[in-house]
Amino acid sequence: NAGVMQNPRHLVRRRGQEARLRCSPMKGHSHVYWYRQLPEEGLKFMVYLQKENIIDESGMPKERFSAEFPKEGPSILRIQQVVRGDSAAYFCASSPPSIDTEAFFGQGTRLTVV
């Protein structure tokens, strides 16, 4: 059973471009979470999704950021018109439907905005 797969592992974008980060959850996992890690900081929750539904987006910036988890395919975190402050490591985690099972993290996508 493969773990949580994130791609790309490293992404470089120029200011103003779009960044698309992909996350394939573990087999049997229908819950996906996105976290952002800024330098010298812990992980900050961004969004929690189930298939075709956004459950909690309280940590998402109000503009330029969006997330989806379609019925088929990976979850996508999309950042439009990136700025230097978006440079960070973005981690995806997944968990099965039961709420008492911990989430498993991917290796992250390191976004650099130049």
Partner 1 sequence: AQSVTQLGSHVSVSEGALVLLRCNYSSSVPPYLFWYVQYPNQGLQLLLKYTTGATLVKGINGFEAEFKKSETSFHLTKPSAHMSDAAEYFCAVSARGSTLGRLYFGRGTQLTVWP
CB of 16 to partner 1, least distance (A): 27
Q: Is the dihedral of CA 64, 88, 57, 50 positive or negative?
A: positive
- Comparing CB distances to partner 1, the nearer of 65 and 106 is 106
Rounded Cα gap, residues 73 and 82, in angstroms: 24
The set of residues, in sequence order, having a beta carbon less than 8 Å from that of 96 and lying 6+ positions away, is 28, 29, 30, 31
State how far the Cα of 108 lies from the Cα of 88, in Å rounded to an integer: 10
Nearer to partner 1, 80 or 101 (CB): 101
For the CB of residue 67, give the shortest distance to partner 1 in the complex, in Å.
14
The minimum distance between CB 107 and partner 1, in angstroms, equals 4
For partner 1, give the closer residue by CB, 38 or 114.
38
To partner 1, the closest distance from the beta carbon of 70 in angstroms equals: 19
Between 41 and 72, CB nearer to partner 1: 41
Q: Residue 24: what residue type?
A: S
Contacts with partner 1 by CB under 8 A lie at 4, 31, 33, 35, 40-45, 48, 56, 91, 93-95, 99-108, 110
**114 token code pair:** 């130049």
Instruction: Write out the two tokens for 47.
Output: 């969004």
